[in-house]
Structure 1
Amino acid sequence: MVVPASLRPRALRLIRLLSRPGFHLFLTGLLMVLGFVLAHRLSERSGREQLSALSTERLELYASNLAAELGRHASLPSLLAIAPTLQALMQAPDDAAARRAASQMLARVNVRAGTHQLFVADAQGQVLSASEVLTPPARLAEALAQGRTHFFAADPNTGSTDFYLLHPLRQASQNSGVIVVRFNLAPLEATWIDLGLRSQNERILIADDQDVVIMSSVQAWKYAVLGHADPSRRQALQASARYPQAIGPDLDLPVSLEVHQGQQVSLPPPGAKAMLAQQRLIVPLGLRLVALSDLTEVRQRAQLAAWGGAAFGASIGLLVLYLSSRRRALRQLTRAQTELQQAHAQLEQLVDSRTAELRQTNDALKTQIAQRLQTEGELLQASKLAVLGQMSAGLSHEVNQPLTALRALARNSMRLLESGRQDAVATNLKLMDDMVERMGQITRQLKSFARKADEQVTGVVLLLDSVRNAQVLLEHRSRALGIAIEVDVPAGLRVRAEANRLEQVLVNLFGNAIDAMQNEAERRLLVRVSAQDGGARALVQVQDSGAGVGDEQLPHLFEPFFTTKPAGEGLGLGLVISAKIVNEFGGSLRARRLEHGMSFEFDLAVEAWESQDV
């Protein structure tokens, strides 16, 4: 394709713009946003459709369950209508004997059928005979006047919903009375409430023809009004005597929900969250069965899908950026090769004239190389001397405490030999052998402090054992000063560390604490462990009751050769070595001033908590 001369500058500018990294980064960001939005919408739409289908199936199940419960006694009134006892009562409704006989029969049938109440009323709603003494519901006269075969009413004593079945009794082709079967829906509602408590993702309610909730899996929504009810409507609902208590609060649920069509709503507590509302009309009963499904899981899946879409868009953008960068690099490489060939041709032409100059330059370079080699040798020697000085200072500091313990154990063993206590001597010798081995390990650790090792070997250590071993090394000093040591470490706490180096850290911290409390009236050392990050890490705290350090000294505690001790008593390397060891374990050593004393803290990764004391 041939580009006209007038358009070539614009084409070149467009090509340069498309080849810039900034444009590709902008394109990557745009693809991420598009992927995020599209994936979120598609996932949310799919999730809502699946949730709607599942809720529709559950609505059918609840509707079938309700219809089965209500239809269980549907044939009972018609069977009672042909009973001779009730026929005799209708022929002589004022006869006391006929009423008593009818009441006894109704009581027997009520017990056998498992209904709540059975009674016979005249055409005006006055009870003629009943399975038990009762007051007819307020809606009975209204139902008789309207010729209804059933109606719902609330129990004024319990507040539960009752269902009434009506069957007319005829005498001479005229309605002379009615048989009423009453059974309570509290067991079915209790099943829904129990289901709502077990599953917080779904709520069920039933509203009557006045849009008032008469049954619900959430007890707080009972007798609430769907939509909005003004004061006049609330007064009319309360005066209708349908409901046993004050009308509840408004539920922000649209009254005009389409059948089987999901709609997002937000309800008041205890269901204060975004939910998908669906309903099923039960036309013969004049009821609306509404299911509310929680949209939280759908939104969470949509968020995950959105981030996945963003990652996919970012991958495409980065791929385009890589291909563009690779193309640009190939062009630069080709240009460099061409320039190199031209330079090589020029060098070949000048080689003869530059031979003498190159020889002089070569001699000068040889002289500079020799001087550089000599300088590097001197620097290497100086570096070796510095490392040797660090190792010597660290060795004298770290081995001093085990040597003191060895001296005390040796003197003790001599006294035990004089008294003939061979077993105690053997125990002391075993401790001395362990300390000598520990001194060798400390020496090897000082080498790792002077230079970074290729790999640090860590394992699983019982923290309490390391604390006890550190106490043994410093037991003679703490006993001489009368220091009260309190250890609050779970016996089964296992941490990721190397046992010898962990004991080295604890010995340094214990020794510093003992030095700080030498001139104090109260000498108390506390070793405490607490959980961090949900139990994934353990915070070890070593606290003393010493004088502490000042604000100007606190920032310098972990600097090499900085010490607050008198001359000749400290080299200032203990905290530096301890901080390096803790850092290799994946933690950090920190110092914190207390009201009385200091607290040195470090954290370790936990392998297992076998005790819940922390």
Structure 2
Amino acid sequence: MPESLRPRALRLLRLLGRPGFHLFLTGLLMVLGFVLAHRLSERSGREQLSALSTERLELYASNLAAELGRHASLPSLLAIAPTLQALMQAPDDPERRRAASHMLARVNVRAGTHQIFFATPQGQVLSASEPLAPPARLPEALAQGRSHFFAADPNTGSTDFYLLHPMRQASQAAGVIVVRFNLAPLEATWLDLGLRSQGERILVADDQDVVIMSSVQALKYAVLDHADPSRRQALQASARYPQAIGPDLDLPASLEVHQGLQVKLPLPGAKTMLAQQRQIVPLGLRLVALSDLTEVRQRAQLAAWGGAAFGASVGLLVLHLSSRRRALRQLTQAQADLRQAHAQLEQLVDSRTAELRQTNDALKTQIAQRLQTEGELLQASKLAVLGQMSAGLSHEVNQPLTALRALARNSMRLLEAGRQDAVAANLQIMDDMVERMSQITRQLKSFARKADEQVTSAVSLLDCVRNALLLLEHRSRALGLATEIDLPPGLRVRAEANRLEQVLVNLFGNAIDAMQHEAERRLRVRAVAQDAGQRVLVQVQDCGPGVGEADLARLFEPFFTTKPAGEGLGLGLVISAKIVHEFGGTLRAEKLAQGMSFEFDLAVESWTAVPETHDV
């Protein structure tokens, strides 16, 4: 390398080795990745949307052409009917007019059209299936020799399609057969599609570029391009349209069929859309599809952020490699320095050996003590977790065991005194306590088993409530909770007992948590008949502080909880609502004047008319 270029090269290498340069490079890669990914994703999304819209345009065009061509042969078939031939010979004969009208009425009913009539070349109706006025465009269409034309129904505002077939006599025009059928059913399906799908709009424009059919009612009779005041007056005077001409949509006349063109309709709140069209040349129509680009842009935004993340990853990788190279270079330099210092340190090794040994022994002792302490702390942590798990159950069992021991000793003394009746009474009390502990453990085992989510049967609602309260008895008794059960004993609902108890335990537990700091703690369970006794509404009410209006709307969202951190995951109500939904009901929450009410409905298997109230 020439001497003149060496300083510049060294400065360039130092610049490339600085972290600030790599951070700048990372930011640059993020911007490039963002822009490139956004453009590629938007282009791909537009191409996919354009291809899908093109297919739908073909489908709509085929559907419209099939609907309009369904009766294309009907006028020519009517032209050879003897009744109309006879009317053409004597158009002023009232009998022939009446016979032709009856025949046209029968054909109109069988063909499913809206009107069929026979008119003179000047547009005067001689006979018709229904006494309706001919369209104002009929003389114009006859003068232009049209075989079909579109016109608006002045009464309903819907679009009618007219088929014309001239009848000749001696090579001269003697009349014309006109078949009219309405396109309102087809347009109704498009309106329904427009209401269900907000991402696509379908417009059908006639030869004057006026929208005569649309999936959006507000765009009907709008002008595709731009109409000045004189053109608007001419369109309104043509009697083609039953109402005022709508706004200008400013769509270009030559839209791309496949790629489309981004346009924005001059309407309030309009979004940028992809416009494509298909010409239906035989009918003189333009079929325009407007596709919403919102989803394409959202995907492009996501792809752009992904590209930015990729660019940042590449930049950070380069920074990592550069830092690693710099660290290796520093390590090599340090190793050289260490080798140089090693020769100096060898002289001090002998004098420091004893001191190092003592320090090493002390370190070993400290490490052993630390390991022992860590083991003891780990064991203590395990014991603390085990104590938390067994605290509730031991509290329930400890008092009966103490009473059993006292009764056993008392029974021994009573036996020595020969008091058999007192011993029998003590044994009965002991048996009741054992049955009590057995009931608790049996309910815990029943509650812990996995329920079959597919099987439902007739279960006693009162038994499920009592079992749920039994599982929470140690908490309710500690708080002095008053429980009011307003349930008929014979009420049996269609559910699965274990999962119904799971819902009740969750609702009761939430109620107990809500009333911990209240002076009055009362839990009420009610059953209200619905649908003439076919269903029952189960209400669980507490007298706690309740929840705010903002939190009330989010109670059934996953991972949302009003409890302090570490006391709930926010899934209890979500799981309970899912279980109730599988039973065919709905779980709801309602704020009371004092407290909350959670209620759900279930199907009734059997019902006792007179409820019984139980206070616990």
**What is the match of residue 118 of structure 1?**
116
Q: Which runs of structure 2 are paired with 1:6-405 in the superposition (5 Å)?
A: 6-197=4-195, 199-229=197-227, 233-251=231-249, 253-267=251-265, 272-348=270-346, 350-351=347-348, 358=352
CA deviations 1:69-93 (Å, max 9, x no partner) are 3233333333433444434433433
CA deviations 1:345-401 (Å, max 9, x no partner) are 2223x44xx855x47966996998799899999x99x999x99xx99x999x99899
Contact 1:204 1:289 in 2 (8 A): yes
Whether 2:610 is the aligned partner of 1:610: answer no
Q: Which runs of structure 2 are paired with 1:554-565 in the superposition (5 Å)?
A: none
Which residue identity lines up with residue 154 of structure 1 in the other structure? A
Alpha-carbon offset, residue 95 of structure 1:
2.5
SS of the equivalent of 1:110 reads helix
Give the distance between the partners of 2:369 and 2:59, measured in 1 at CA. 91
Bigger shift: residues 415-424 or 193-202: 415-424
Give the distance between the partners of 1:16 and 1:494, measured in 2 at CA. 72
Contact 2:467 2:501 in 1 (8 A): no
Quick one: structure 1 residues 610 and 76, their matched pair in 2 at CA, closer, same or farther if it must change by over 3 Å? Answer: closer
Which residue identity lines up with residue 610 of structure 1 in the other structure? I
CA RMSD of aligned residues (A): 5.2
Give the distance between the partners of 1:60 and 1:171, measured in 2 at CA. 41
**What is the match of residue 426 of structure 1?**
431
Which residue identity lines up with residue 126 of structure 2 in the other structure? L
Question: Structure 2-normalised TM-score?
Answer: 0.67
Which residue identity lines up with residue 180 of structure 1 in the other structure? V
Give the distance between the partners of 1:319 and 1:167, measured in 2 at CA. 78
Contact 1:36 1:309 in 2 (8 A): yes
Give the distance between the partners of 2:78 and 2:513, measured in 1 at CA. 97
Give the distance between the partners of 1:132 and 1:511, measured in 2 at CA. 76
Question: Structure 1-normalised TM-score?
Answer: 0.67
Quick one: structure 1 residues 538 and 76, their matched pair in 2 at CA, closer, same or farther if it must change by over 3 Å? Answer: closer
Give the distance between the partners of 2:268 and 2:13, measured in 1 at CA. 60
Number of residue equivalences: 513
SS of the equivalent of 1:124 reads coil
Which residue identity lines up with residue 537 of structure 1 in the other structure? F
Contact 1:405 1:473 in 2 (8 A): no
Alpha-carbon offset, residue 328 of structure 1:
1.3
Contact 1:209 1:286 in 2 (8 A): yes
Alpha-carbon offset, residue 152 of structure 1:
0.5
Which residue identity lines up with residue 579 of structure 2 in the other structure? E
Which residue identity lines up with residue 240 of structure 1 in the other structure? S
Bigger shift: residues 361-370 or 128-137: 361-370
Quick one: structure 1 residues 275 and 459, their matched pair in 2 at CA, closer, same or farther if it must change by over 3 Å? Answer: farther
Alpha-carbon offset, residue 220 of structure 1:
3.4
**What is the match of residue 446 of structure 1?**
none
Give the distance between the partners of 1:364 and 1:28, measured in 2 at CA. 51
**What is the match of residue 456 of structure 2?**
none
Quick one: structure 1 residues 483 and 256, their matched pair in 2 at CA, closer, same or farther if it must change by over 3 Å? Answer: same
Which residue identity lines up with residue 473 of structure 1 in the other structure? H
Q: Which runs of structure 2 are paired with 1:421-570 in the superposition (5 Å)?
A: 425-429=430-434, 468=469, 471-473=472-474, 483=482, 492=499, 522=520, 524=522, 526=542, 535-537=557-559, 539=561
Which residue identity lines up with residue 420 of structure 1 in the other structure? A
Identity %: 64
Unmatched 5+ stretches in structure 1: 437-457, 542-578, 580-586, 590-600
Give the distance between the partners of 1:394 and 1:193, measured in 2 at CA. 63
Bigger shift: residues 366-375 or 205-214: 366-375
CA deviations 1:304-354 (Å, max 9, x no partner) are 433333333233223322321221121111111100100012223x44xx8
Alpha-carbon offset, residue 267 of structure 1:
4.6
Quick one: structure 1 residues 149 and 420, their matched pair in 2 at CA, closer, same or farther if it must change by over 3 Å? Answer: same
Give the distance between the partners of 1:256 and 1:511, measured in 2 at CA. 69
Give the distance between the partners of 2:72 and 2:481, measured in 1 at CA. 90
Alpha-carbon offset, residue 155 of structure 1:
1.5
Give the distance between the partners of 2:182 and 2:388, measured in 1 at CA. 87
Give the distance between the partners of 1:267 and 1:157, measured in 2 at CA. 29
Alpha-carbon offset, residue 150 of structure 1:
1.6
Give the distance between the partners of 1:15 and 1:178, measured in 2 at CA. 92
SS of the equivalent of 2:305 reads helix
**What is the match of residue 588 of structure 1?**
566
Which residue identity lines up with residue 566 of structure 2 in the other structure? S
Alpha-carbon offset, residue 135 of structure 1:
0.8
Give the distance between the partners of 2:341 and 2:310, measured in 1 at CA. 46
Give the distance between the partners of 1:261 and 1:102, measured in 2 at CA. 53
Contact 1:24 1:317 in 2 (8 A): yes
Contact 1:149 1:166 in 2 (8 A): yes
CA deviations 1:548-605 (Å, max 9, x no partner) are xxxxxxxxxxxxxxxxxxxxxxxxxxxxxxx8xxxxxxx425xxxxxxxxxxx88567
